[in-house]
Chain A
Amino acid sequence: SQQGEEDPQALSIQEGENATMNCSYKTSINNLQWYRQNSGRGLVHLILIRSNEREKHSGRLRVTLDTSKKSSSLLITASRAADTASYFCATDKNSGAGSYQLTFGKGTKLSVIP
Chain B
Amino acid sequence: DTEVTQTPKHLVMGMTNKKSLKCEQHMGHRAMYWYKQKAKKPPELMFVYSYEKLSINESVPSRFSPECPNSSLLNLHLHALQPEDSALYLCASSQGSLPNTDTQYFGPGTRLTVL
| Interface set of A (CB-CB < 8 Å, partner B) | 2, 30-31, 33, 35, 40-45, 48, 50, 88, 92, 95-107
Contact residues, B88-105 vs A (CB, 8 A): 88, 90, 92, 94-98, 100-105
5 contacts between A and B (CB under 8 A): A43-B104, A98-B31, A98-B96, A99-B49, A102-B104
Q: In residues 16-72 of chain B, which contact A (Cβ within 8 Å)?
A: 30-31, 33, 41-45, 48-51, 53, 55-56
Query: Among B41, B96, B107, which residue has its beta carbon within 8 angstroms of that of A42?
Result: B107
User: Which B residues have a C-beta under 8 Å from some C-beta of A?
Assistant: 4, 6, 30-31, 33, 41-45, 48-51, 53, 55-56, 88, 90, 92, 94-98, 100-109, 111
Q: How far is the CB of A87 from chain B (nearest CB, A)?
A: 11
Q: Which residues of A contact B45 (CB under 8 A)?
A: 101-103
Cβ–Cβ contact B42 & A105, under 8 A = yes
Contact pick for A45, options B6, B100, B105, CB 8 Å = B105
Check if A96 sits within 8 Å of B55, measured CB to CB: yes
Instruction: List the A side residues contacting B103 at CB < 8 Å.
Output: 33, 45, 48
B90 to A97, Cβ gap below 8 A? no
What's the least CB distance linking A97 to chain B, in Å?
A: 4
Q: Tell me the bound Cα distance from A48 to B41 in angstroms.
A: 21
Question: What is the distance, in angstroms, from A4's C-beta to the closest C-beta of chain B?
Answer: 8
- Contact flag A99-B96 (CB < 8 Å), given A92-B101, A106-B42: yes
CB-CB under 8 A from B55, the residues of chain A are 95-97, 99
Q: Would you list the 5 A-B pairs with minimal beta carbon distance, nearest first?
A: A104-B42, A99-B31, A98-B96, A42-B106, A97-B50
Q: Which of B41, B48, B88, B98 makes the CB contact (< 8 A) with A101?
A: B48
User: Which A residues touch B96, using CB under 8 A?
Assistant: 97-99
